[in-house]
Structure 1
Amino acid sequence: MNSTNRVKRGRFITLEGVDGSGKSTQCRILKEYLISRDIPVMSTREPGGTEIAEEMRSILVHRDLLPMSELLQVMAARYDHIVKKILPAIEAGYTVICDRFIDSTVVYQGLEIDSGMELVYSLHKKLMPSIMPDITFFIDIEPVLAMERVKVRNGSDYSSSNLRNNRFDIKDLDYYKKIHNGFRTLADKYLKRIKTIKVTALSTPTPTHKIITRYYQGLDLGYAKQI
């Protein structure tokens, strides 16, 4: 094939934040924005994204697992997701938008294990096809506000006794604060890749979307970053 006809690899964009931060809404709005500009785009999520990974997600969000078992389950789901869905889309020239990726694993699973941050990144490099996001948006919201949003979203079913609930949603405020601080630590450490967008009680989705699209427009054309 002539090199001039070779399809450029697409971009890989991830959104991170505590539950209730609004990242899923921003994934949807960004996808709609790219579609409106005739940019090939695929949206997905983690844990999940493929049939097998979605089955693993159901176990992860509804069952209490040992910390190491939980981490390895997330990694198994990610491998299936990357190989079957993310990499093929990127190699076909699609922009891939993923609701959570490795940073969530570092924060949610890594913080429960000794030297967990280093372990998560090490496992990712050794076991996964070598890909990292071109850019990550951390939606930075105060934990108490995020927790209130989750309560409103779940309504009267907000309790640990309801098996339909995501067990990560029904944690207490101290847990939300720990997760939030974990994301802040990563954002401070990886300033080049992770862009922090502050959200307040008065924020609407539109200003956040405008910030995201400005960053997107500034990305270099071409290839998704490799580890």
Structure 2
Amino acid sequence: MLPHAGMKTFAQLGFPGRLIAVEGIDGSGKSTQLHLLKRWLEDQDLKVFLSEWNSSELVKSATSRGKAQQLLTPTTFCLIHATDFADRYERHLVPLLRAGYLVLCDRYVFTAFARDVVRGCPPAWVRGIYSFAALPDLTFFFKADLEVSLARILDGRPQLKFYEAGMDLRLSSDIYESFRIFQGRLLEQYLAMSTEFRFHVVDANQTIEAQQQIVRAIVSARLNLDDFRRTRLPRRSAARSTRTS
């Protein structure tokens, strides 16, 4: 595989903010861990912003319609998600990183590198589409067993979704078997990228608490969190007494 064209993190590019991304197959628990991290950082009065994959208002409705009617080909799937990412990158991520925020991303370009390639798109082409994006300063990959991920998904809702199970690839007529095959292939792609992009691999079969302790320890060790603390304005009473003295 070709390396990512940018190959520089936001820190290396001189941004005052830092971007933390989480990746993992569906049901790995990455979103839960990121929301817990967000709450922990906010409790320390730090400037934090969370951005989720496929959440841009520009294309969200079109994506939902395409999925509902099962109209998305591998190429349109790739391009519509790239449009979503580019919109959020330009309007949210970069401005906030310039403003010194800790930006948390529930999935980043690596999701596209894994999903689109498994769906048959050329790796170099996919990476070229996202070549404008800098790399995260920290990337956590939550590695969960397929059966654990499947059980977590089904615990929250009655059935699997068409695309998360890879049914568009006709891997199996059984949706659960299709999920295992599709997500297994995604897992292989993620593991292949883990060294190249220096993922922090977390055993996602552990308890939520154990995983969160690992995440917080790495974030605390790698980042100076005091750099992202909100500026406290002086109390009004203190300012008034200064003027009168």
Normalised TM-score (structure 2): 0.75
CA distances 1:16-48 after superposition (whole Å, capped 9, x unpaired): 001110011011100001001111000111122
Confirm or deny: 8 A CA contact 2:21 2:108 kept in the other structure: yes
Is 1:131 aligned to 2:134, yes or no? Answer: yes
Which of 3, 19, 25 is the aligned partner of 2:26? 19
CA distances 1:152-186 after superposition (whole Å, capped 9, x unpaired): 2112xx15xxxxx4631564211121111111111
Letter in 1 for 2:52: R
Q: Note the aligned Cα RMSD (angstroms).
A: 2.1
Normalised TM-score (structure 1): 0.80
| 3-state SS, counterpart of residue 137 of structure 1 | strand
CA distances 1:113-167 after superposition (whole Å, capped 9, x unpaired): 2532x22222211xx3x42211110000011210121122112xx15xxxxx463
Confirm or deny: 8 A CA contact 1:16 1:100 kept in the other structure: yes
Percent of aligned positions that are identical: 21
Structure with the greater alpha carbon radius of gyration? 2
Letter in 2 for 1:167: Y
Question: Structure 2: 5+ residue runs without aligned partners?
Answer: 1-13, 166-174, 228-245
Which of 136, 155, 164 is the aligned partner of 1:168? 164
Provide the residue aligned with 2:215 in structure 1.
212
Confirm or deny: 8 A CA contact 2:75 2:121 kept in the other structure: no
Provide the residue aligned with 1:145 in structure 2.
148
Residues 53 and 98 (structure 1), Cα distance of their counterparts in 2 relative to 1, 3 Å cut: farther
Provide the residue aligned with 2:10 in structure 1.
none
Provide the residue aligned with 2:237 in structure 1.
none
| 3-state SS, counterpart of residue 49 of structure 2 | strand
Which of 35, 57, 61 is the aligned partner of 1:55? 61
Distance in 1 (CA, whole Å) between partners of 2:93 and 2:121 is 30
Q: How does 1:67-146 map to 2 (within 5 A)?
A: 67-116=74-123, 118-125=124-131, 128=132, 130-146=133-149
Distance in 2 (CA, whole Å) between partners of 1:60 and 1:209 is 35
Question: Structure 1: 5+ residue runs without aligned partners?
Answer: 1-6, 160-164, 223-227
- Cα offset, 1:220, TM superposition: 4.8
Distance in 1 (CA, whole Å) between partners of 2:31 and 2:196 is 24
| 3-state SS, counterpart of residue 47 of structure 1 | coil
Q: Which runs of 4+ in 1 moved over 6 A?
A: none
Confirm or deny: 8 A CA contact 2:20 2:138 kept in the other structure: yes
